[in-house]
Amino acid sequence: MNAGIDDSAFLRIAAVTKDFGDFRAVDEVSLDVARGEIFALLGSSGCGKSTLLRILAGFETPSSGSVTLGRIDLARMPPYERPVNMMFQSYALFPHLTVWDNIAFGLRRDGLPKAEIASRVEDMLRLVQMPQFAKRKPHQLSGGQQQRVALARSLAKRPQLLLLDEPLGALDRKLREATQIELVNIIRDVGVTCVMVTHDQQEAMTMASRIAVMSEGRFLQVGSPVDVYESPTTRFVADFIGDVNLMDGVVNDHGDHGGHVDVRCADVVHRIAPGGGMRPGQLVTVAVRPEKIELRADRGNDATWGERDPINQVDQVNQVRGIVRALAYFGGYTMYHLELPSGAPLKVNVGNERRSRDGAPMHGDAVWARWLPGSQVVLTQ
Ligand SMILES: Nc1ncnc2c1ncn2[C@@H]1O[C@H](COP(=O)(O)OP(=O)(O)O)[C@@H](O)[C@H]1O
Ligand SMILES: [Mg+2]
């Protein structure tokens, strides 16, 4: 089947645009999803995630562009004929039907033979580890179990493409995290290609092998969770995924620091590996994640931080003095909010490896925050 189809472009979204009147909900989006991949569309409410998913499901027609799955042009196919199934959030199950009948529902509607239906339902119950719950009604199940039944029902028809729209939105945090991992394991077992929509970055990063960060109908960045977190290409993505410190600065024009470039910001000079097409005099934004920064009582005095920069006449290379203005204890780490000399804030996360907080900086303390070259990302847009 599908001989000759490139598995890395099993689902191909090509320049898809969707207009509602004069409002553009999806703006020229292109994407290849590999066979068997779990892909997440991530963005805040209203950015066009569900509209794009509904186009894949066939509930909306694109204003322009095309969607192909394997060799099939989906746009020419009515929703009920597509080898695609969509799972919505909590209201997915029929309350008056048992678990068994919920899973069998779509198969009966398609008129499959009784024996085939029974064998598929039993397979699905085993897959989601719920054979013992077959006779229960949805209200007799936990939220996580209901979600597993909903997934079993979506998979019973053996779709080639599974679509999940905010699948776990109704669950509380602990259960959501456990269910995310369960769903991923089941989807991987079946090997079905999956596109999911979420506004929850933690959910996208847990479940998906790649993520598209969306804003105003466009893809700002597509990459693995590590890519979008560690190598964001725009301020928006750096700021949207996780916590970040953003500092505006100018690329210094003397670039003879033995293989690095300096970016002068209000409170600190960032020493950075060259690259990324930085030009002397260019205005850039330097991003540093709070967990990449360490706090010390004193200035760093070794080769990385210590030598006074003879050209810039600064002794604040990759380090800066700040006053602790607030601290928030999160159990695994403490977030410090520092005030830098210019008045700008700096967030620093310090891991709590030990139980004792003896010697940890307190409210009002003066501290040095420092980071290694290579901890920063330079953003030009
Ligand atoms: N049928 C529609 N008619 C008009 N506008 C719509 C329609 N569906 C969605 N929109 C608009 O398109 C934008 C994107 O919606 P949606 O894709 O549901 O966002 P998301 O799922 O990312 O929250 C929103 O501003 C929404 O109001
Ligand atoms: Mg939505």
Ordered by where they begin, the domains of the chain are 7-238 (3.40.50.300), 243-299+310-379 (2.40.50.140)
pLDDT of residue 100: 97
pLDDT of residue 4: 52
198 lines ligand 1 (CB under 6 A): no
Q: What is the average pLDDT across 195-215? A: 95
Atom 27, ligand 1: residue with shortest CA distance:
46
pLDDT of residue 85: 86
Return the amino acid letter for 341: P
- Residue 25 contacts by C-beta under 8 Å, 6 or more apart in sequence? 18, 19, 48, 51, 217
pLDDT of residue 136: 96
How far is ligand 1, taken at its centre, from the CA of residue 166, in Å?
15
How far is ligand 1, taken at its centre, from the CA of residue 46, in Å?
6
Atom 5, ligand 1: residue with shortest CA distance:
20
Question: Which atom number of ligand 1 is nearest to the Cα of residue 47?
Answer: 22
Examine the pLDDT at 106 and tell me if it is beyond 50: yes
Examine the pLDDT at 157 and tell me if it is beyond 60: yes
45 lines ligand 1 (CB under 6 A): yes
In whole numbers, what is the pLDDT of the chain averaged over residues? 89
Q: What is the average pLDDT across 307-326? A: 73
What's the pLDDT tens digit per position in 8-43?
899 999 999 999 999 999 999 999 999 999 999 999
Euclidean distance between CA atoms 200 and 217, whole angstroms: 17
Q: How long, in residues, is the chain?
A: 381
What's the pLDDT tens digit per position in 216-234?
999 999 999 999 999 999 9
Q: What is the average pLDDT across 96-108? A: 95
Atom 1, ligand 1: residue with shortest CA distance:
20
pLDDT of residue 158: 87
Neighbouring CB atoms inside 10 A of 90's CB total 16
DSSP 270: E
20 lines ligand 1 (CB under 6 A): yes
How far is ligand 2, taken at its centre, from the CA of residue 138, in Å?
24
What's the pLDDT tens digit per position in 269-314?
998 877 667 888 999 999 999 999 999 988 766 656 555 554 445 5
pLDDT of residue 64: 95
Contact between residue 8 and residue 180 where contact means Cβ atoms under 8 Å apart: no
Q: What is the average pLDDT across 162-182? A: 84
pLDDT of residue 3: 47
48 lines ligand 1 (CB under 6 A): yes
- The β-bridge partners of 335 are 328, 349
Sign of CA dihedral 100, 105, 109, 112: negative
Q: How confident is the model at residue 374 (pLDDT cuts 50, 70, 90)?
A: confident
Cα 367 off chain centre by: 33
The number of the ligand nearest the C-alpha atom of 52 reads 1
Burial profile 167-201: b = 16 or more Cβ within 10 angstroms, e = fewer: bbeebeeebbeebbebbbebbeebebbbbbbbbbb
Euclidean distance between CA atoms 12 and 44, whole angstroms: 24
Cα 255 off chain centre by: 36
21 three-state secondary structure = coil
Atom 2, ligand 1: residue with shortest CA distance:
20
213 lines ligand 1 (CB under 6 A): no
Question: Which atom number of ligand 1 is nearest to the Cα of residue 44?
Answer: 22
Atom 11, ligand 1: residue with shortest CA distance:
25
Residues with Cβ within 5 Å of ion ligand 2?
50
Considering only residues 260 and 5, tell me which one the structure prediction assigns the higher pLDDT.
260
Neighbouring CB atoms inside 10 A of 348's CB total 27
Query: What is the residue-wise DSSP string for 84-138?
Result: EEEE-SGGGS-TTS-HHHHHHHHHHHTT--HHHHHHHHHHHHHHTT-GGGTT--G
How far is ligand 2, taken at its centre, from the CA of residue 226, in Å?
24
Instruction: Name the residue of 51, 53, 219 to mutate for ligand 1: max ligand atoms within 8 A of Cβ.
Output: 51
Closest to 249 (Cα-Cα) out of 293, 289, 280, 290: 280
- The β-bridge partners of 162 are 85, 194
Please report, for residues 31, 228, 380, the alpha-carbon distance to residue 285 in angstroms, rounded to integers and kept in the order given: 28, 17, 6
Instruction: Name the residue of 20, 61, 166, 200 to mutate for ligand 1: max ligand atoms within 8 A of Cβ.
Output: 20
107 lines ligand 1 (CB under 6 A): no
Tokens for 358? 């003896």
What's the pLDDT tens digit per position in 116-137?
999 999 999 998 889 999 999 9
The number of the ligand nearest the C-alpha atom of 26 reads 1
330: phi then psi, degrees, rounded to nearest 5: -110, 15
Examine the pLDDT at 170 and tell me if it is beyond 60: yes
Q: How confident is the model at residue 1 (pLDDT cuts 50, 70, 90)?
A: very low
pLDDT of residue 168: 81
Tokens for 373? 């070259």
47 lines ligand 1 (CB under 6 A): yes
Euclidean distance between CA atoms 337 and 323, whole angstroms: 8
